[in-house]
C-alpha cells in the first residue's frame, strides 16, 4: 500500500489536524444547536408541503407515512409518525412496504394497501421521487407529498406524463409537494431521508409556533444519517452530534431496550455503535422479517413491548449474521473465477433479497471494485455497492432499457432487471466497466498528520482530537504517521490468537500500546525482524479502565525498516 504523508514541519499535530478539518466557526463546530441548521423553508416545496399537510390534518384526513425498509426509512417514518400523531393529533399511520412482496418505493401494491385502509394522503419518506407515473395515475384518488433524497430522474433521457422540470430534474407535477434537497439551488444537499423528514417537522413546528423541542427526534435522525453513510459535515455533523447526546439520555424507550439487549447501554455511545450495533438490528427487521417492527420499537411508549421487540430484532440480527456469512462465501468463490473483471456481477438462485446489499458491500470493500449482487426469483432484484471513487447509480442508469426500476446514491443502489435481459445487462455492464474504469493500481492510504514522537500522543492530544467527533464519512478518524518506532514486546489475544497487542517505544523512552484486531497473522515478519525500526499509520484512541484514561493506538498499516 502506498502512503501519502503530509508535510507540516513546525506545526504541532493537533493544530495541523484542526486546520485540515476546515473549522471555520469553532463554537458551531464543537457545540452546535439546532438553530445552527439552515432554515428548512429554503428547501424546494417546503412551504407547499407544510401548508397542505397542516390543512389535511385540520380536515381530519387519514394520512399514511410511506417509508422504506432500511434504517434510514424506518427512522424517517418514525419521526414523521411521532411528530404528527403526538403534536398535531393527526389521523396518521405508518406504512413500510414488504421488501419481498412489494419492493422499494411506491408500488401498485403499497398504494392499493393504503387505499384499502382508507388512506387519503400519502407522505413518502426516503422514497417516491422517481415514482412519477404512479403519482400521476393515482393523483385523483389520493394526495401525495413526496419527501426524498435519492437520485432524481433526468429530463435529458426521458419524457414522462405527469412530470415537470425543476432545476434540471424531472419530478412529479401531480404531487402536492416534492420536498427534496437536490431541487434547491443552494445549500447543503447530501442528507438522508430521515433528515428531510425531520426538516419537514421542523418547518411545521416553526410555521405553527408550536415551540416543540425538536431534540426529541435528533437521536432517530442521527441514526438515519449514520446508517445511510451520509458525509458527517455541515447539517449532518450537527445532527449526529446532537443525536448522540440524545441517545445517551435513553429517553427513547425502544432505543433503550435495543441498547440493553445488545449490551452497550453503559458504554460511551458513538457513531460506531450507531453503524454497527443499532443500525444492523433495525435493518434486520426489513431484511428477514417485517420492517414495521423496527418502527413499532422506535415509537412505543411501553417498556414491556419495547423489550419484546428488541429481543425479536436481536434474534433476527443473529440469523442475519449467519446467513450473510454463508452467502458471502458463495459469492466470493464466484468472484474468484472472474477476478480480472472491472465490475463483479452475480445473480444467485433465490438468494435472500434482504442480504444482497450486505454481500455486495462486503465484496466491494474487500476487492475495492463495484459489485452487483442479485437474486433470480419471482423478480430479478439486485443491490449494488461501489468504492467512493465510482458512482454506481450513474453507471446503472446506462442500462435503463434492461431494468424495471432502479435508484440509489453514489456508492449504493438497488435495481430490478427484466429477466429476459439479464444476460444483456451483465455483458454490457462488464464491457462498459472495462473501458470506463482505470486499471487497478496500488491502494493508497492518505495520512492526516505526523507525530514528532510518542510523547506528542499524550492524553491532552487525545482529548483534543476526540473533539473532532463524531467520526464517519468525510470526517474520518485522523490517521497519524509515526516513524522510527521500536517494538518492545508483544502479546496475542482472542480464542484463536487472531488479535495482537504491540508495546512500542522510541527515543523518548515512552511505551505505548498498539492494537490490531482479526489480522494477527500479517505481523509475522514484523515479529521476525523485531529489532528493525517501524513506520506506522495509526488511529489515536482512549483506553479507559476504572476511571483512568490513557492513549492507545489502533494500527491501520505498518512498514518495516
Answer yes or no: do 175 and 109 share one domain. Answer: yes
Residue 324 has what pLDDT?
95
Spatial CB neighbours of 495, under 8 Å, sequence gap ≥ 6: none
Q: How many domains does the chain have?
A: 3
Which of 376, 405, 436 lies at the terminal end of a domain, its last residue?
436
Answer yes or no: do 212 and 79 share one domain. Answer: yes
Cα 374 to chain center, whole Å?
Answer: 21
The whole model's pTM is what? 0.90
Per the domain annotation, does 414 fall within a domain? Answer: yes
**Would you call 233 exposed, middle or buried from its count of C-beta atoms within 10 A (0-12, 13-18, 19+)?**
middle
Q: List the CATH number of the domain containing 377.
A: 3.10.310.30
Spatial CB neighbours of 505, under 8 Å, sequence gap ≥ 6: 454, 485, 486, 488, 511, 512
Per residue in 134-154, pLDDT (tens digit) is 999 999 999 999 999 998 998
Identify which of 282, 280, 315, 287 has the alpha carbon closest to the alpha carbon of residue 297: 282
Strands 548-560 and 2-4, by their bridges, are unpaired
Residue 404 has what pLDDT?
92
Strand-pair partners of 551 = 542
CA–CA separation, 21 and 84 (whole Å): 38
Per the domain annotation, does 249 fall within a domain? Answer: no
Answer yes or no: do 360 and 474 share one domain. Answer: no
Query: Residue 439: pLDDT band by 50, 70, 90 thresholds?
Result: low
Answer yes or no: do 210 and 177 share one domain. Answer: yes
Per the domain annotation, does 287 fall within a domain? Answer: no
Answer yes or no: do 377 and 465 share one domain. Answer: no
Identify which of 327, 219, 326 has the alpha carbon closest to the alpha carbon of residue 279: 219
Helix residue spans in 262-347 (DSSP H): 271-273, 279-288, 292-299, 303-335
Strand-pair partners of 516 = 500
Answer yes or no: do 69 and 158 share one domain. Answer: yes
Q: Say what the alpha-carbon torsion angle 450, 456, 462, 468 is, to the nearest 10 degrees.
A: -40
Per the domain annotation, does 283 fall within a domain? Answer: no
DSSP label at residue 19: H
Query: Residue 240: pLDDT band by 50, 70, 90 thresholds?
Result: very high
Answer yes or no: do 186 and 70 share one domain. Answer: yes
Which cell goes with 167? 432545476
Which cell goes with 551? 492513549
Please give the residue range of the domain that contains residue 378.
339-436
CA–CA separation, 348 and 288 (whole Å): 17
Which of 208, 224, 240 lies at the terminal end of a domain, its last residue?
224
Per the domain annotation, does 300 fall within a domain? Answer: no
Residue 402 has what pLDDT?
96
Per the domain annotation, does 109 fall within a domain? Answer: yes
- CB atoms < 10 A from the CB of 315, how many? 15
Per the domain annotation, does 374 fall within a domain? Answer: yes
Cα dist from 102 to 64, 137, 175, 359, 424, whole Å: 16, 18, 21, 22, 25
Q: List the CATH number of the domain containing 116.
A: 3.90.1640.30
Q: Which one is predicted more confidently, 264 or 326?
A: 326
Per residue in 287-326, pLDDT (tens digit) is 999 999 999 999 999 999 999 999 999 999 999 999 999 9
Per residue in 382-432, pLDDT (tens digit) is 999 998 888 999 999 999 999 998 888 888 999 999 999 999 999 999 999
Spatial CB neighbours of 385, under 8 Å, sequence gap ≥ 6: 357, 360, 361, 363, 364, 370, 371, 392, 411, 412
Answer yes or no: do 426 and 473 share one domain. Answer: no
Q: What is the mean pLDDT of the chain?
A: 93
Cell 498499516 found at: 557
For 30-40, letters b (16+ CB in 10 Å) and e give eebeeeebeeb
Residue 561 has what pLDDT?
75
Give a three-class secondary structure readout of 91-145: CEEEECCCCCCCCCCCCHHHHHHHHHCCCCEEEEECCCCCCHHHHHHHCCCCEEE
Across residues 463-471, what is the average pLDDT?
A: 93
Answer yes or no: do 131 and 70 share one domain. Answer: yes
Answer yes or no: do 485 and 540 share one domain. Answer: yes
Per the domain annotation, does 48 fall within a domain? Answer: yes
Identify which of 17, 19, 1 has the alpha carbon closest to the alpha carbon of residue 480: 17
CA–CA separation, 62 and 19 (whole Å): 52
Answer yes or no: do 86 and 172 share one domain. Answer: yes
Across residues 87-113, what is the average pLDDT?
A: 93
Answer yes or no: do 431 and 452 share one domain. Answer: no
Which of 407, 436, 465 lies at the terminal end of a domain, its last residue?
436
Q: List the CATH number of the domain containing 556.
A: 2.40.50.460
Cα dist from 43 to 48, 147, 165, 177, 400, whole Å: 11, 11, 16, 11, 29
Amino acid at each position: 500500500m502506498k502512503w501519502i504523508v503530509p508535510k507540516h514541519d513546525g506545526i504541532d499535530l493537533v493544530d495541523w489536524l484542526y486546520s485540515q478539518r476546515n473549522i471555520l466557526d469553532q463554537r458551531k463546530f464543537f457545540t452546535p444547536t439546532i438553530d445552527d441548521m439552515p432554515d428548512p423553508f429554503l428547501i424546494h416545496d417546503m412551504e407547499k408541503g407544510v401548508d397542505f399537510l397542516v390543512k389535511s390534518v385540520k380536515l381530519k384526513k387519514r394520512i399514511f407515512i410511506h417509508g422504506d425498509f432500511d434504517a434510514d426509512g424506518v427512522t424517517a417514518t418514525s419521526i414523521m409518525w411521532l411528530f404528527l400523531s403526538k403534536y398535531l393529533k393527526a389521523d396518521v399511520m405508518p406504512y413500510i412496504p414488504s421488501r419481498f412482496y412489494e419492493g422499494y418505493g411506491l408500488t401498485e401494491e403499497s398504494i392499493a394497501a393504503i387505499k384499502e385502509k382508507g388512506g387519503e394522503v400519502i407522505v413518502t419518506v426516503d422514497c417516491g421521487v422517481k415514482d412519477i407515473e404512479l403519482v400521476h395515475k393515482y393523483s385523483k384518488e389520493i394526495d401525495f407529498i413526496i419527501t426524498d433524497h435519492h437520485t432524481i430522474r433526468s429530463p435529458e433521457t426521458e419524457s414522462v406524463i405527469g412530470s415537470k422540470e425543476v432545476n434540471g430534474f424531472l419530478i412529479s407535477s401531480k404531487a402536492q409537494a416534492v420536498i427534496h434537497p437536490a431541487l434547491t439551488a443552494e445549500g447543503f444537499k447530501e442528507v438522508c431521508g430521515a433528515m428531510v423528514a425531520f426538516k419537514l417537522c421542523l418547518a411545521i413546528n416553526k410555521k405553527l409556533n408550536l415551540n416543540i423541542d425538536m431534540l426529541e427526534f435528533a437521536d432517530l435522525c442521527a441514526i438515519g444519517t449514520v446508517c445511510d453513510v451520509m458525509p458527517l459535515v455541515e447539517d449532518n455533523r450537527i445532527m449526529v452530534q446532537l443525536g448522540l447526546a440524545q441517545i445517551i439520555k435513553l429517553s427513547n424507550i425502544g432505543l433503550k431496550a435495543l441498547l440493553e439487549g445488545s449490551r452497550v447501554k453503559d458504554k460511551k455511545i458513538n457513531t460506531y455503535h450507531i453503524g454497527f450495533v443499532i443500525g444492523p438490528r433495525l435493518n434486520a427487521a426489513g431484511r428477514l422479517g417485517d420492517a414495521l417492527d423496527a418502527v413499532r420499537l422506535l415509537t412505543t411508549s411501553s417498556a414491556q413491548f419495547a423489550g419484546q421487540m428488541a429481543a425479536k430484532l436481536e434474534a433476527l440480527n443473529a440469523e442475519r449474521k449467519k446467513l450473510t456469512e454463508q452467502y458471502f462465501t458463495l459469492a466470493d468463490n464466484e468472484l474468484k473465477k472472474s477476478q480480472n473483471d472491472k465490475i463483479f456481477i452475480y445473480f444467485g438462485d433465490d438468494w435472500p433479497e434482504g442480504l444482497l446489499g450486505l454481500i455486495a458491500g462486503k465484496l466491494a470493500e474487500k476487492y475495492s471494485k463495484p459489485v452487483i449482487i442479485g437474486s433470480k426469483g419471482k423478480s430479478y432484484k439486485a443491490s449494488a455497492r461501489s468504492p467512493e471513487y465510482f458512482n454506481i447509480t450513474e453507471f446503472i442508469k446506462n442500462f435503463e432499457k434492461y431494468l424495471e426500476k432502479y435508484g440509489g446514491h453514489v456508492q449504493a443502489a438497488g435495481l430490478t432487471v427484466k429477466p429476459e435481459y439479464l444476460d444483456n445487462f451483465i455483458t454490457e455492464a462488464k464491457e462498459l466497466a472495462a473501458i470506463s474504469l482505470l486499471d487497478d493500481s496500488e491502494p493508497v492510504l492518505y495520512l492526516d498528520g505526523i507525530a514528532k514522537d510518542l510523547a506528542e500522543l499524550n492524553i491532552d492530544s487525545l482529548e483534543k482530537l476526540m473533539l473532532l467527533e463524531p467520526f464517519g464519512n468525510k470526517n474520518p478518524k485522523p490517521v497519524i504517521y509515526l516513524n522510527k518506532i521500536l517494538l518492545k514486546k508483544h502479546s496475542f489475544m482472542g480464542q484463536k490468537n487472531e488479535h495482537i497487542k504491540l508495546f512500542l517505544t522510541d527515543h523518548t523512552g515512552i511505551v505505548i500500546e498498539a492494537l490490531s484486531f482479526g489480522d494477527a497473522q500479517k505481523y509475522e515478519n514484523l515479529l521476525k525482524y523485531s529489532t528493525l525500526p517501524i513506520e506506522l499509520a495509526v488511529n489515536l484512541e482512549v483506553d479507559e479502565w476504572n476511571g483512568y484514561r490513557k492513549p492507545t493506538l489502533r494500527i491501520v498499516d505498518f512498514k518495516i525498516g
